[in-house]
Amino acid sequence: MTAASALTAALIIGISLAVIGFFGPALLRHAAPALAKTPRLAATLLVGGILVWPTTLLALSLALAWVLAGPALLPQKAALVCEQCLTAANPFSVESIQTALPTVLLLVIPTVIAAMCTVGIAAQFMARVRCSRSTAARVQHEAYRRPLLGYNVSVVHDHRPWALTFSPRLGGITLSSGAIDQLADDELEAVLAHEQAHMDQRHHIVTALVDSIAAQLRWVPFIREAAEVLPDYLEIAADQQACRKVNTTALVRALLVLGEKKIPTGTIGSAAGTLFAAGPGRIPHLVGSSTGRKGYVPALAAGSQILLLGFVSVIVLLSYAIALLTGCSLP
């Protein structure tokens, strides 16, 4: 591979990054009809894109270190070790181009930025976990456990109908006495199946992780949009599982009774870390007619771009990982 072809490949990857990063929101909006049919696949696409975009940005900078060679900033022996590691990590035979940019900066700067982002994401994630625990403790304080239609749930005395779920460790399915009183048995079973789906599919972990990443990278339009629409697809996925256990009509009636999200009494601010069985806005997805192949082209376009970026990230990062694990020994 010549240096020119390597730079051309890097340029193509850079363009793909820009297309997904800045035009991705438009693709997601146009792909919504197709994605709503397969919400679990849609959620995988969104989470994968959120993880892949910054990873590819890091990998692109590391790959450029194989092509661009500049003045050495390190002492001579350290520079020789760095050059040996670069050579060992490079899976291609690429000619280098001399530039004014020191090669070591292409390694150090993105690595430091990635480390800082990782620390920030971890801090955000732990803060959300603590907030969820605090919310669950307040809601569960006066709740009592009871079996209900084959589910073990927490019941809170509140005349308003609402149902939500925490992660299993924080109490799981929780609903108000008003919901039990106002929902028919099949409607109640549909709500419980919906909430159980959230726990079965680990939606609490997914939302906490995605929100933590988005908090650090909201300047990327695709990541911001993906984080905002992801909860909708998780709710649709839970609806689909509930409808497989109970009929769709029962779930639609239950959503009408529950109405919009209601924060449990005694909870200050938003109910952090909770997923609600609420929102009449989802009813069109349950009773609407098929949209044919509408949205399939932008969905395939977005998916193929994310797969391409993911493939590039794996090739580059795996090459560096193998080199480091083998002591940067030359083949």
- 148-165 tens-digit pLDDT: 999 999 999 999 999 999
Look at residue 131 and tell me if it is in a domain: yes
Residue 329: predicted pLDDT = 66
Q: Strand, coil or helix: what is 30?
A: helix
Residue 71: predicted pLDDT = 62
Question: What is the overall mean pLDDT for the chain?
Answer: 87
Of 269 and 241, the structure prediction assigns the larger pLDDT to 241
Considering 88-102, 264-278, 294-308, the range whose residues carry the highest mean pLDDT is 294-308
Of 87 and 252, the structure prediction assigns the larger pLDDT to 252
Look at residue 127 and tell me if it is in a domain: yes
Domain that holds residue 32: 3-325
Look at residue 286 and tell me if it is in a domain: yes
pLDDT at 42 > cutoff 90:
yes
pLDDT at 4 > cutoff 90:
no
Query: 278, 262 in Cβ contact below 8 A?
Result: yes
For the stretch 163-190, pLDDT in tens is 999 999 999 999 999 999 999 999 999 9
Structural tokens at position 265: 């009494």
For the stretch 99-140, pLDDT in tens is 677 777 878 888 899 999 999 999 999 999 999 999 999 998
Look at residue 122 and tell me if it is in a domain: yes
Instruction: Tell me what the mean pLDDT of segment 209-231 comes to.
Output: 94
Look at residue 301 and tell me if it is in a domain: yes
pLDDT band at 286 (very low <50, low <70, confident <90, very high): confident
- If one counts the domains in the chain, the total is 1
Neighbouring residues of 124: CB distance < 8 A, sequence distance ≥ 6: 211, 212, 215, 216
Amino acid of residue 85: C
Residue 68 is given by DSSP the state E
Look at residue 60 and tell me if it is in a domain: yes
pLDDT at 7 > cutoff 90:
no
For the stretch 43-65, pLDDT in tens is 999 999 999 999 999 998 888 88
Look at residue 231 and tell me if it is in a domain: yes
Look at residue 330 and tell me if it is in a domain: no
